[in-house]
Amino acid sequence: MEWDEDLDAQGLLCPLPVLKTRKRLKAMQTGMVLRVLATDPAAVIDIPHYCAESGHALIGAGEIGQAQYYLIRRI
């Protein structure tokens, strides 16, 4: 899977990963994909929930080392 922009939220705690994700997505064009890297344990719940509430599409997720990654398509 490919993405257009990266957001490194590693080391940040709730609610910062979601707040930074929201800000970055607002600056992106519709259809672009953002990859978010996060180490906050709450991100596993918070980021998918944010996508569901905001209407953005969570199109992928997984692990890279100790971080979780999320691929989000801006809608």
**Mean pLDDT, the chain cut into blocks of 10 residues (75 residues total):** 96 97 98 98 97 98 97 98
What does the pLDDT read at residue 38? 98
* pLDDT on residue 1: 80
Q: What is the pLDDT of residue 57?
A: 98
CA separation for the pair 32, 35 (Å, rounded): 10
Angle separating helix axes 16-27 and 43-54, nearest 10 degrees: 40
40: left (phi over 0), alpha (psi -120 to 50) or beta: beta
All structural domains of the chain: 5-73 (3.30.110.40)
Structure pTM?
0.96
Q: Residues, the chain, total?
A: 75
Catalytic residue among 14, 33, 58, 71: 14
Q: Does the active-site annotation cover 51?
A: no
